[in-house]
Amino acid sequence: MEALRRLLDEPVSAFPIAHAGPAHVATLKTFDPPLHVLEGRRFAGAERRAKRLLFPTDDGELVLVVHLMTSGRLRWLKPGEAGPKKPAFRLAFEGGAQLVMTEAGSKKRAGVWLLRPAEAEEDVAHLGPEALGLGAERLAEILRRKSRRLHPLLRDQRAIAGIGRAWSNEILHHARLSPFALSSELTDEEVERLAEAIDSELSRGLELRERGAGNAATYRVHDKLGEPCYVCGTPLARVEYEEHTIYYCPSCQTGGRILKDRRMSRLLR
């Protein structure tokens, strides 16, 4: 998301919006103000809070918020560049460039919101502090607030903003911590390691994404079941936790133990 924000920051503010829409009925989550009020206005740039991209207008009156969820995709099309036939959302700029969102599959989960600044503030107010640059001291506070398993805690945007399930896998592997370890039981040294892993893994990801790397080249643990661990060579394992699949190295992270599935259905029984 941060790589995408950097990519869009300049071009979105270069020209005023000529035409806003079309937007898929399930993609546009707001109807007041209507989308066409964007026309003739110019964005001040692109901002990011957690996984949301925010595009405030330079007159300070509106903010366009985009959340891609898992399968949405946002593309910048130069003047004349061919785009998708049925985008989920499109903005055309004066000069001919376009910002288009597509979403694979029939479920439209990605969303676009056109908000007034106060509403946008409210929308992001419940988010925790940004993961990148968090530091060991603030991380320790979050970890010790309540005893929770590390993987779901890292993914919880209200606790820490900006880490998804894939990066939770990468970070915990780098920190040599079990995804099921309890947050309140970490030693100071383990907290330091986790804080360092958050920074180094997110920075590594950002750098690779900026160079245009895809998932396969970016992730070293996530979605790599059975492939050798890049540190010790042990085949990577996976475990189901609630509705998520977690990838880990049994040698580096759990002292050789294979974790047992804890599915939501079984937890509810």
Min dist. Cβ of residue 196 to Zn ion (A): 18
Min dist. Cβ of residue 124 to Zn ion (A): 37
Closest to 111 (Cα-Cα) out of 91, 89, 126, 128: 89
Of 64 and 252, the one with the shorter C-beta distance to Zn ion is 252
260: Cβ contacts below 8 Å, ≥ 6 apart: 239
Count of residues interacting with Zn ion (CB under 5 A): 7
210: Cβ contacts below 8 Å, ≥ 6 apart: 3, 6, 7
Q: Is the sign of the CA dihedral 140, 174, 132, 162 positive or negative?
A: negative
Of 57 and 178, the one with the shorter C-beta distance to Zn ion is 178
Min dist. Cβ of residue 222 to Zn ion (A): 14
Q: Which of residues 17, 246, 252, 259 is near Zn ion by CB under 5 A? A: 252
Of 200 and 234, the one with the shorter C-beta distance to Zn ion is 234
Rounded-to-integer distance, Cα 64 and Cα 75, Å: 16
Q: Which of residues 231, 240, 244, 262 is near Zn ion by CB under 5 A? A: 231
DSSP bridge pairs for 138 = none
DSSP bridge pairs for 47 = 54
Of 93 and 247, the one with the shorter C-beta distance to Zn ion is 247
CA 237 to chain centre: 23
**Residue 251 in contact with Zn ion, rule: CB under 5 A:** yes
Structure token pair of residue 156: 């919880």
Rounded-to-integer distance, Cα 65 and Cα 55, Å: 6
Of 92 and 194, the one with the shorter C-beta distance to Zn ion is 194
Interface stretch with Zn ion, choices 43-51, 87-95, 182-190, 242-250 (CB under 5 A): 242-250
Of 48 and 222, the one with the shorter C-beta distance to Zn ion is 222
**Residue 237 in contact with Zn ion, rule: CB under 5 A:** no
**Residue 28 in contact with Zn ion, rule: CB under 5 A:** no
Site string for Zn ion, 188-227 (x = CB under 5 A): ----------------------------------------
Total residues found in the chain within this entry: 269
Q: Which of residues 232, 257, 260, 263 is near Zn ion by CB under 5 A? A: 232
Rounded-to-integer distance, Cα 11 and Cα 75, Å: 12
**Residue 229 in contact with Zn ion, rule: CB under 5 A:** yes
**Other beta carbons less than 10 A from residue 233's beta carbon:** 10
Rounded-to-integer distance, Cα 105 and Cα 232, Å: 38
Q: Phi and psi for 90 in degrees, rounded to 5? A: -145, 140
Of 8 and 249, the one with the shorter C-beta distance to Zn ion is 249
**Residue 182 in contact with Zn ion, rule: CB under 5 A:** no
Min dist. Cβ of residue 250 to Zn ion (A): 8
Q: Which of residues 114, 139, 153, 249 is near Zn ion by CB under 5 A? A: 249
Rounded-to-integer distance, Cα 116 and Cα 60, Å: 9
The residue ranges that bind Zn ion (CB under 5 A) are 229, 231-232, 234, 249, 251-252
